[in-house]
Structure 1
Amino acid sequence: MAGRVLRPGDRILFDDAEWTVTAVGEAVRLVDRTGASQVVLLSYLLSSTGFELLSGAPTPVAPRLEPAGLLEALPTAVVKEARAWERHVLEVQTGLLPGAQQPRAGFDPQSTTLEQREEAKATELTAAGRRTSAVTVKRRRLRYRAQGLWGLVDHRHTRPSSPYGRVDERVVQAAREAIAAQAVQSTGTKSRLRRQVQEAVIARFGEGTVPLPSARTFDRLVDALSTGQHTFGSATTRRSLAQRPEGAFTRTVANRPGELVQIDTTPLDVMAVFDDGVAGRVELTIALDVATRTICAAIVRPRATKAVDASLLLARMLVPEPMRPGWSTALSMAHSRIPHSRLLELDARLEQAAARPVIAPEAVVIDRGRVFISETFVRACDRLGISVLPAHPRTPTDKAIVERTFGSINTLFCQHVAGYTGPSTTHRGQDVQARTVWTVEQVQELFDEWVLAGWQVRPHEGLRDPHLPATVLSPNEMYAALITAAGYVPIPLVGEDYLELLPVQWRRINADGIHLDHRTYDCSDLNPLRRQDSGISAKDGRWAVHYDPYDLSRVWVRDTRAGGWVTVPWTLHHLARQPFADFTWRAARQIVTQRGGDDTDQAAIAAALERLLTRAGEGPARQRRTAARTHSAPSHLPHTAAPEPSESSPDEEQELAQIIPFGVFDPTAEEPYR
């Protein structure tokens, strides 16, 4: 391969002086005009600043490597023609055809010059019916010398063809804008799109100014412009693709359990039976740990997930999942890949725990739904020391892992549950409600068991051992591997912590009790607090009243004087003996209003509420759904009556529970995961 060569006799510029090269090796001897000489390393000479070759033999440019990939993309006839020319050029250049032993007459380099061989080749090709001049042969020889076989290719076939053909660029731009506008429109046809483009071109450039393509050409143009955009497919997929951010995708990385947890809610493709027999779809909220892909906690609710549900989801993450009656012992943490014996020394709560890791989140990624940006949820995260990271608006890729997990749940769990609806109405079977047999509580129970028996032990393609990349790990195995390095610190929660997570209203304690949304709460324990100032000047002396939106039969008042909490029942709870939610109360008030009554009359509302809950099956479908949602939304706290005065003496000693101290995790003593 010929290239730039430094030879004896060449004149060069070095150190701002002219020199003549007299010898070349690892070192170069240089002589100037006065006869003075010096020896310089060749590598130092060539890399020095200001070095320049002033004169010397012309050096040919090094040939380029042939683009083999482009050659494979050419038509077979074009490559065949180039290879035929290669034989002719090689014979002109060397005097021998490929594979020949002796030169043919007129091509012997010993008796002919290069120009004579070019003339002979042109004459030969012309006589064979391919009119060719010596200039053409020379030009092809030089191109072959510089580019190889690629230089002999007919480059009319290498020019990239326009995907839009000869369509006017103004029409292409209008079509591109119209296709982008389809993201928020209902799915239409190409004929509608063609009419929109035609109207846009006429409005912008005038009638008859821009030539419009034929219908078939326009269809080919649309196919080229709409690739991968689902312009004429699913509207939901099209909107999702339109929200995809531009630029390269980056992988979400977490190196320890709890470092990053993604939380989201989605309608589950399963119908559940409510207490009165009404069937409806439920909603699933999960917290997914990015590092281990563990479903840390999950809550199944009717289509009315509240901020308190999201807050209690955090609380469920921090406590072990207890083994339940009927579960196989294989689902216990003691029989899992999790290092149970070592963790049990640190957290005694894990003794009868199921095989679900207890992960304390450091940061949670949420969307901007009102459930997750509510004061209740943000306050809960602040109390638990968790950073809240809201996703960017209309950017589902910010929490792509939990979004993808929902798809896996539909495939691995939902489609096997009686009452499966399919991802859309077009996939729904006939009379799904008739085959719906599980209640909301039972769906929750089934999902919790599936998480332990299916998800946590199933190998996940996103989990790989860094030392054995070919090994795919399950969430429990990944947790066992990471907890050895990251450590484990238990965060115990007591009953009062759950009360702290409930939403709060600030109210005064009057002589007749506490008024909350036209309900009155009262009991004898409020006697020391009636008409008293709470001492919280920021709230004008009002008291903090916490309530459960799914059970309004009682509230909890924080006693800022003596400390602790006061449980206060609703005064008319005996008229509506079943627990009821806030949306049930609003529905009862609406019934009273429709009957011409006073929607602030507690007795009338309580009577309507009792009829709504006990005879919901006889009312309109909307009222049945309201009652069913009430029945299927279990309270987060045990149903206890208002506290009665204690019969024991204040001096009477009470037996205290044993306090179990928590330890500190020692990574060096951790047993390896199996």
Structure 2
Amino acid sequence: MGRLKRPPALAVGDRIRFAGQVRGVLEVTAQAAVLEDADEPHRVVALVELFQAEDFEVLFQPERMPLPASSLLEMLPAATVRQALWWESHILEVLHGLSPGAGSGSAPRPEYGPGVSLTARERAKAAELIRAGHQATPSTVARLRRRYQQDGVVGLADLRSARKTPQFGLVDPAVVDAMRQAIKEGIDSSTRTGSFLIWRTREILGQSPGGDSVDWPSRPTLYRLLAKLTVGTHATGSAVTRRSKAHGANAPFGELTVTAPGEVMQMDSTPLDVMVRLDNGVVGKVELTGMIDVATRTLSAAVLRPSTKSVDASVLLARTVTPELMRPGWVDALKMSRSVLPHRRLLTLDERLEHAAAKPVIVPEMIVYDHGKVFVSHNFRASCRFLEIECQPTHKGSPFEKGHIEKMLGSVATMFAQFLPGYTGRNTDQRGRHLEQENLWSLPELQELLDEWIVAHWQNRPHEGLRDPDHPGRLFTPNQKYAAMVESCGYVPVALSGQDYVELLPATWRAVNSYGIRINNRTYDSPDLGPMRQRDSGVTAKRGLWEVHRDPYDVSRVWVRDHRGGGGWVQAAWKYLNRAPVPFGDLAWDHVSHQLPKATEEELTQAVADLLTRAHAGPDQPAGKKGKKVKPSKSDRRVVARTKATTAVAATVPLPKPQHEPPPEEPVEEDDETLADVIPLGLFDPFEDPWKRP
């Protein structure tokens, strides 16, 4: 028994072999097929007879006509499109026997009916068009029919009207190549004008073989050519942007998927466009070093220094994994307990968060940084190894690989720095005059303003990169994104202990004298330094000096390692702390008398507005409406009084009495009532057990 064979598919237009002839299929019905025949106009053969014939063979089956590129018709004039559609109606009648406008149940005309070959139909259509007054031949109809079957209606259109002009007009390609080379040579050079690039183009063309015989375009043509070739290259603009674009990635940018806070963080430094008054009274600029979390866009830490050093990067790590405590003068709306952060859940892990500001504590898993001296130093890498953080340097000359921190540093300039006195602008063209005569902030004061701005504005500002995947029109703030990720990924921040925090701080070696320790013209002392005074530490490599760790952004205290007593830490406070408010102490975090369940958007907005107004006025210059000075409120004076009241502090860090009693302070002027009694508050002690109940 023979194997069953499925009959082949048969359609109009196929070429088959049957009864010793090669025939075309004119029509196919359910039971029979109409074929071409050499002796008669056509031959009707039953499908059963056709498929069982010994010599039956399908020789050619036309491929399915591809979908036409109909969008090309939009590039053509309307008259050309109408002509193509007119030809389409006639070609369809040649192919199928009926025109597109034929009604339902209409029968083909005899010259296009079943059994009539394509050649005969083409001759009939040409004769019909000639009678109607159109110029057409059978070969023209056949050519258009084949083009229609291949390209659709676009094949019937006259595409000469849609021809594109050359990209560079009639300019010789040799001139174009020479100008491309001139532009490429200037990538790493200083910025020059377009006239230089045109001059260099002619020099390159003259040095090339046959360059003297090339037609040199006119001056306007050369400038038009230069404009086309330098689009997006900044060839005559910023040298920094030009190098960045030239050395950037040519492939599409990828997307690094992060699912938890701290999974990927980025760090970088940049000069801050603000003049500040340094400790020695000299006016100068400072550098901003920041770290941002890619998952939540949280600005975990930002520090200011006259010049960034490797120890500053280590301090930045310490500040990232340490709760940001509320500071004197900060509004109650900035507390973590008033924010959208999961305060109660985190409070069960670390009670230090009870008085923390509304900024998440994030422990990095991987830090991405560039090849700056600060980040490739041994000190910074040692700190990362100590915290078990993976270091991932970017490729050289590829700032786009850490674009999040680059964008953040630019945002600080536009959203914060420009509101400050002494703002210099990004370059000399934007710089004002006599900036050093303005009411400039000191470095510690500016640092505190920046920290407050981060908590008040940055962490509560909707970010373009934090969109809801299901609702793209909704934006998250960094605090909202952090709270959502804590719920989804179960992230638990493990903040540094006091021992770890002090170990990460930069170290210096000093002698312990009878009056204490002197660092940067500040004297630090503590009763616990008694056994160390005027004695050798035993560290021969340091000539008997004592190891002192300090936070360069908190001048209120230092820590001294007791090399003779087991290696523990002794905290020493600034000797004259009572004579100046502490820039970064936590002396007044609980001065607010009432608590609200949540900080409203209006409160946060008002806090940001007050911060920028205060920052623009400069130190000791409260600004009111229309630039007028305003009198501090009773609450403000109470906070100032508590901040200054540091002569009697907590027993954890007793301060010695000054050698010379300070002159009595002038009494605060009252309007109608006396200020409340000053309640002295203690300094923050990282070694204190946070779970210890008073």
Normalised-by-shorter TM-score class: 0.5 to 0.7
1:73 Cα shift?
A: 3.1
Q: Secondary structure of 1:229's match?
A: coil
Q: Secondary structure of 1:171's match?
A: helix
1:221 Cα shift?
A: 3.1
Q: 1:5·1:59 contact (CA, 8 Å) conserved in 2?
A: no
2:419, 2:572 → 1: CA distance?
44
What's 1:281 paired with? 285
Q: 1:178·1:196 contact (CA, 8 Å) conserved in 2?
A: yes
Query: CA distance change for structure 1 residues 251 and 200 in 2, over 3 Å: closer, same or farther?
Result: same
What's 2:467 paired with? 464
1:74 Cα shift?
A: 3.4
What's 2:339 paired with? 336
CA displacement, residues 180-208 of structure 1 (integer Å, 9 cap, x when unaligned): 22222333333321221121122132552
CA displacement, residues 138-175 of structure 1 (integer Å, 9 cap, x when unaligned): 10012113322021123445666542344444433322
**Higher mean C-alpha deviation, range 273-282 or range 174-183:** 273-282
Letter in 2 for 1:525: M
Gaps of 5+ in 2: 1-6, 18-28, 31-54, 520-528, 581-652, 657-685
1:96 Cα shift?
A: 5.7
What's 1:221 paired with? 225
1:61 matches 2:63: yes
Q: 2:547·2:561 contact (CA, 8 Å) conserved in 1?
A: yes
2:314, 2:185 → 1: CA distance?
39
1:64, 1:299 → 2: CA distance?
63
Q: 1:96·1:107 contact (CA, 8 Å) conserved in 2?
A: no
Letter in 2 for 1:453: A
What's 2:312 paired with? 309
CA displacement, residues 47-100 of structure 1 (integer Å, 9 cap, x when unaligned): xxxxxx992264222111111223223344433332233244345445665536
CA displacement, residues 452-491 of structure 1 (integer Å, 9 cap, x when unaligned): 1111111212123455554321111111122232332433
1:201, 1:640 → 2: CA distance?
79
1:171, 1:361 → 2: CA distance?
53
1:406 Cα shift?
A: 1.8
Root-mean-square deviation (CA), in Å? 4.8
2:559, 2:345 → 1: CA distance?
41
What's 2:374 paired with? 371
1:221, 1:104 → 2: CA distance?
59
What's 1:85 paired with? 87
1:218, 1:104 → 2: CA distance?
63
Q: 1:559·1:565 contact (CA, 8 Å) conserved in 2?
A: no
1:229, 1:282 → 2: CA distance?
31
2:199, 2:530 → 1: CA distance?
72
1:248 Cα shift?
A: 1.5
What are the within-5 Å matches in structure 2 for residues 663-674 of structure 1?
none
Query: CA distance change for structure 1 residues 264 and 194 in 2, over 3 Å: closer, same or farther?
Result: same
1:658 Cα shift?
A: 6.4
1:230 Cα shift?
A: 1.9
Letter in 2 for 1:307: S
Q: Secondary structure of 2:402's match?
A: helix
What's 1:347 paired with? 350
Q: Secondary structure of 2:348's match?
A: helix
Q: Secondary structure of 2:292's match?
A: strand
What's 2:391 paired with? 388
CA displacement, residues 408-428 of structure 1 (integer Å, 9 cap, x when unaligned): 222322233333333333334
Letter in 1 for 2:251: G
CA displacement, residues 187-239 of structure 1 (integer Å, 9 cap, x when unaligned): 33333212211211221325524444443443343333322212233333222
1:316 Cα shift?
A: 1.0
Q: 2:92·2:98 contact (CA, 8 Å) conserved in 1?
A: yes
Query: CA distance change for structure 1 residues 540 and 266 in 2, over 3 Å: closer, same or farther?
Result: closer
What are the within-5 Å matches in structure 2 for residues 186-335 of structure 1?
186-205=190-209, 208-274=212-278, 279-302=283-306, 304-335=307-338
1:480 matches 2:483: yes
2:250, 2:544 → 1: CA distance?
51
What's 1:659 paired with? 689
1:252 Cα shift?
A: 2.7
1:496, 1:96 → 2: CA distance?
89
2:197, 2:341 → 1: CA distance?
57
Q: Secondary structure of 1:208's match?
A: helix
1:335, 1:243 → 2: CA distance?
46
Gaps of 5+ in 1: 13-23, 26-52, 517-521, 579-637, 642-655, 663-674
Q: 1:62·1:146 contact (CA, 8 Å) conserved in 2?
A: no
Q: Secondary structure of 1:460's match?
A: coil
2:183, 2:346 → 1: CA distance?
57
Query: CA distance change for structure 1 residues 334 and 117 in 2, over 3 Å: closer, same or farther?
Result: same
Q: 1:523·1:568 contact (CA, 8 Å) conserved in 2?
A: no
Letter in 2 for 1:342: R
Letter in 2 for 1:180: K
**Pick from 525, 528, 532: which aligns with 2:532?**
525
Q: 2:339·2:358 contact (CA, 8 Å) conserved in 1?
A: yes
2:263, 2:378 → 1: CA distance?
23
Query: CA distance change for structure 1 residues 497 and 95 in 2, over 3 Å: closer, same or farther?
Result: closer
Q: 2:421·2:440 contact (CA, 8 Å) conserved in 1?
A: yes
What's 1:47 paired with? none
**Higher mean C-alpha deviation, range 86-95 or range 230-239:** 86-95
Query: CA distance change for structure 1 residues 55 and 94 in 2, over 3 Å: closer, same or farther?
Result: closer
What's 1:628 paired with? none
Query: CA distance change for structure 1 residues 89 and 179 in 2, over 3 Å: closer, same or farther?
Result: same
- TM-score, normalising length from structure 2? 0.65
1:220, 1:126 → 2: CA distance?
50
Query: CA distance change for structure 1 residues 116 and 566 in 2, over 3 Å: closer, same or farther?
Result: closer
Query: CA distance change for structure 1 residues 497 and 329 in 2, over 3 Å: closer, same or farther?
Result: closer
1:393 Cα shift?
A: 0.6
Q: 2:65·2:150 contact (CA, 8 Å) conserved in 1?
A: yes
1:261 Cα shift?
A: 1.3
CA displacement, residues 256-287 of structure 1 (integer Å, 9 cap, x when unaligned): 11111111111223333446765443321111
1:321 Cα shift?
A: 0.8
2:280, 2:474 → 1: CA distance?
49
2:16, 2:118 → 1: CA distance?
30
Letter in 2 for 1:73: M
1:376 Cα shift?
A: 2.0
Q: Secondary structure of 1:250's match?
A: coil
Query: CA distance change for structure 1 residues 86 and 433 in 2, over 3 Å: closer, same or farther?
Result: farther
How many residue pairs get aligned? The number is: 531
**Pick from 70, 73, 95: which aligns with 1:71?**
73
Letter in 2 for 1:81: Q
Q: 1:272·1:281 contact (CA, 8 Å) conserved in 2?
A: yes
Q: 1:257·1:486 contact (CA, 8 Å) conserved in 2?
A: no
Query: CA distance change for structure 1 residues 130 and 354 in 2, over 3 Å: closer, same or farther?
Result: same
1:183 matches 2:184: no
2:15, 2:122 → 1: CA distance?
33
Q: 1:178·1:197 contact (CA, 8 Å) conserved in 2?
A: yes
What's 1:417 paired with? 420
**Higher mean C-alpha deviation, range 341-350 or range 226-235:** 226-235
CA displacement, residues 517-549 of structure 1 (integer Å, 9 cap, x when unaligned): xxxxx998387747x676xxxx79998856769
1:268, 1:449 → 2: CA distance?
17
